[in-house]
Structures are given as structure tokens and as C-alpha cells.
Chains A and B, each alone.
Chain A
Amino acid sequence: MKASLQRAYWISRVTFLEAVRQRFFAFLVVLGAAMVLSSLSFRFLDFGHGELKFIADFGFGGMFLFGSVLGVVMTAQLFFSEMDNRTALTLLAKPLSRTEFLLGKFFGAWAVLAVFLGVLSLLLGGVMWWREQTILVQAEQRGLLPGVFSASGMFAYALLQWLRLGVVIAIVLTISSIARTFLFAVIVGALAVVAGQLQWIAQDVLLKPADNLAYKSFLWVSSRLLPNLQQFNIGDALVLEPASVPTDAVQWVVVSGIFYMVAYLVLASAIFRRREI
């Protein structure tokens, strides 16, 4: 078991090094950072909400959007670069199981996303803290009580997003195990993420009475095959009103995320074991 984890670690280490050297990663970090910083310029468009909430929503949007793009495209690219360049031939001819190889790819990609989310969270947290200091002074002068930024809430949000992107990576690895081309894996992976974001609609419809059993069955299956990725988006509540988020709701999101992540990795491993290299 220890040797197996060590081999997965070596694969993940090289996968991580390969990914962080890519311009694509740097490009998305810069884009995400630019989006977080640009929230300062657009904060007058807060549509009547608090300034901190606007900045938080803008930053979370950047983390969600670019994190998802990175999770889908980079994971598929890291997988297919090993297949297309035939480095997988060299590696899998060693005493390395395909599950270990896949786990290495997973943890390598997940570590890259930890760096991505870490950088953007620190930046967003810094921007929000800085604005909070200014707003607090102004609010005290006016006798108002503004929303208070929670650093621990930001940390919890970053962890939840990391878990969400872990689920995305696991889904993309499952698709890549079946797919023959990088493009197919990216397109289907992106569709899966969109479907996961909209999965709550299927759940809502499922709760309503319907006569068509086939339709109900389809909704039931589809609402369980794909995780509800929307449930991870509780960022503004966690960061600005942490007391309003029930602990059991966060626990449920974590348990559900881990369940889907493990389930998709098991499925990916089962498929990849049968793949001809």
C-alpha cells in the first residue's frame, strides 16, 4: 500500500511540474487575477448590493470560470500528452498499476488547481480586506453596520471550490479513459461541467408530480449520475455571513463531493485498465 501510494506520488509530482510549466496555466492565473483586481474598477456597478459582496461575487466568478476551464482542459491535456507522446508506454511498462497512474494524474492536476485557487483566494482575500478597512471607517462615520469579511470563510470557500474542481477532474479523467481524442474529452468534459451546474433543475423537476414514468426515470438517473456542482457555490455566504451557513449543509456538500470524486475515480480506473496503450 505504501509503495503504491509512493508510485502515485511520483507520477503526481511530475504531472504537477509539467502542468505548472505550461503557458496555459500561467495565462489562466493571470486572467483570474485580472478579474479579481478589475472588480475594484467595476464596484460602482454593485446593483444596490454591498461593495464587498460585489467584489466577492466577481472574484468567485473568476475562480469558478477559469478554475473550471483549467480543470477540464488541463486534465485532458495532461492525460492525452502521456498517451499521444507515448510516455505512458514507458511508465506503464514499469511495476506501476494503471490505477496508480490515474491517481497520480488526478493528484497532480488537483495540486495545480490548489495553487490556482490559493493564489486567487489570497488575492481576493487581500482585496476584500483592504476594501473592508476603508468601508469600516466610512460606516462608522455614518453609524452603519457593513458586512464583515471572514478570512476563515474565504479559506472554507477555497477548500469547497477545490473539492468541486476535484470532482471535475475525476469526471474528465473518466471521460479521457474512454475518449480517443483530446478534443472529444474536452468537449464532453465541458458539457458534463455545464450539466453538473444545471443539475439542480433536474432535481427540482423531479420533486414535482409527473405522469410520464420514463421522463421521471431519466431525471432520476441523470440527477444521480452527475453531481450537483451548484451546491458548492455558497461563497458569498461563507465569506460575508459565515454564521448564516448551517454546518450540516457544508458537511453534506463535502460528503457528496468526496463520494462523487471517489466514484468517478473508481470508474475511470476500471475503464482505463481495459484500455490498449
Chain B
Amino acid sequence: MTSAISVRNLTKDFRIGIRGLKLRAVDDLTLEIPRGQVYGLLGPNGCGKSTTLKIILGLVPATAGEITILGQPSATASARERTGFLPEAPYFHKFLSGRELVRYCAQLSGVTAERVDQSVEEALALAAMTEAASRPIGTYSKGMLQRIGFAQAIVHDPELVILDEPTAGVDPVGSAAIGRMIHAMRDKGKTVVLCSHLLGQVEQVCDRVAIMDRGKLVLEGKVDDVLARRDRHVMTIEALTPAAQDAAETALAAHGAKVTSVTHPRRSLEDLFRELVTGSRDA
């Protein structure tokens, strides 16, 4: 089976200023994104990840390199038929209602007239936007904008969904909702590529990650593989007394192991926040 996205030796130079000075945004990038996984493209601001996504979608031409989407050359309308895209900080026509926007995008994406109503309602339901779908987009909060953006990206049931900073500016409750939508897409066998610098969230939702810096790929692999430190172990112990700790350290030393630190486990601030505001709704 072909990859969801195959990028080979991609380079992108921007010409800046009157003298046309060359700025290399992406430098000889090669990437294979497998199907059916959630793939995170990470990196600091300006590292070339958004440019890479735009080139993949044909919004910006590549200086060099070859890209295919689901086995078809990218930048063709047929490749985009099976792709959904949520841009960073999406902005939509404020006078349209959420439902009208999703319907508009369904029509542009080639959803047939017979299927369009059902597709729109399914996408709105998955994005948890059914209740607010009749309101003008101008009245939406940031989190709702992201969710309606997600709905328009998936309304034509694409095989590949590309999300550029899907949780930027969204509170943790909204982020968690978007995380659930991403998992729902993966459960349906879709490939999700997301671009973010919110590492905590990426760690929670992604199966594989690629890290870019200054236009180059610096690391790629399964999340578990790239994060695990095989030479270290963590044990969680209840009711540890100083005497028990001494005894455990002695026993471990007898086998050549050494306790390097003993700390209390911490939950993340995000987990604590979500726990405390569980009942809140993003409205």
C-alpha cells in the first residue's frame, strides 16, 4: 500500500526583497507518512512545517522535489478530492452560519446533492457543532471556529486530514475535544497529519512524529520509540518509608542497579485543569 503522503527531496526557496535574496524554508526534506495513523509534524516557529503542508496541498509550488498524496501527484485537484485541510487560525465568511459553511465546503469538495445533507450533519455531529450550526460564524468563539473548521475539513469523508495548528489559541477543554475528534478519525481508518508546536498535545494524540528545524528533518519515528529512554526505568510505589527506600536501594545495588532519583509523581497542569473544569463547555 502506498503512503498517505510521500515527500522526496523537497526544497523550497523564497525570494525576498527587491534583490531577490534567497531564503530556504525547506531543505531537502524526505518524509513517508503511513496511512491510518496520526502523524505529528513538529518544530519551532519558522522551521518550515506550515510551508511543507502548503506545498503538499499545492498552495505553494516547490522549488525542487517530488510529492505524492495517496499515490497521486500532489497539487492536482484529484489528489485534493481525498484530502481535508484545516488551516492555522482559520477565518471563514462571518455572514454564513456554521451549517451553511460546511454545506458550501461539501459542495466545493464534490459531495453529491443527494448526500450533501447527511454529510453535513455527520460532520457537524463529529465536531460537536450541531447545536450551534445555525448561528452566524461571526458569533463563534475561537474553539468553535476550530471545530467548525474541522467539520468543513472532513465533510467529504477524506482519507487524509491535514490540520495546521488545530489547537492554537484554544483552551484545554477545546483542545481535548479536538484530540477526541482526531482519535475518532483514526478509528475510522483515516490518516491525520497535524502540525503543531504544542508538544504535550502531540504526544497524547500522535502515533508518529517528525521534528523539523531550520527547514530540515532532525528526527522521525514512533512517539513511543523516540521518547522512551531504554536505559532508565520508572517505578511508582505507594507508602514508601525511608527504611523501605534504603532496603530497596540496597537490594537493587546487589544487582548492580542504582536509584538515581526518588520523586513524587506529578500530573500535568492540563490534566488538573481539565479535571477541575470538566463541566464547562466551550461557548
Contact = CB atoms under 8 A, between A and B. Distances in A.
Given A90-B87, A93-B80, A95-B78, A277 B109 contact: no
Nearest to B51: A276
A85 interface: yes
Nearest to B90: A90
A8 to B, nearest CB: 10
Given A3-B110, A10-B107, A277-B59, A96 B77 contact: yes
Given A6-B107, A95-B109, A276-B60, A90 B95 contact: no
Interface in A12-40: 14, 17-18, 21
Residue of A7, A85, A92, A93 most packed against chain B (CB within 10 A): A93
Interface in B65-82: 77-78, 80-81
A17 B100 CA distance: 12
B108 A89 contact: no
Interface in B82-116: 83, 85-87, 89-93, 95-96, 104-105, 107-110
A224 interface: no
Nearest to B56: A93
A6 B81 CA distance: 15
Interface residues of A, number: 24
A93 B107 contact: no
A233 interface: no
B77 A91 contact: no
A97 interface: yes
Nearest to B14: A276
A87 B77 CA distance: 18
B152 interface: yes
A143 B209 CA distance: 92
Contact of B59 (A17, A85, A92): A92
Nearest to B89: A86
List the 6 closest A-B pairs by CB distance, nearest first. Answer: A93-B85, A95-B77, A95-B81, A89-B87, A277-B59, A85-B91
Interface of B: 54, 57-61, 77-78, 80-81, 83, 85-87, 89-93, 95-96, 104-105, 107-110, 149, 152, 162
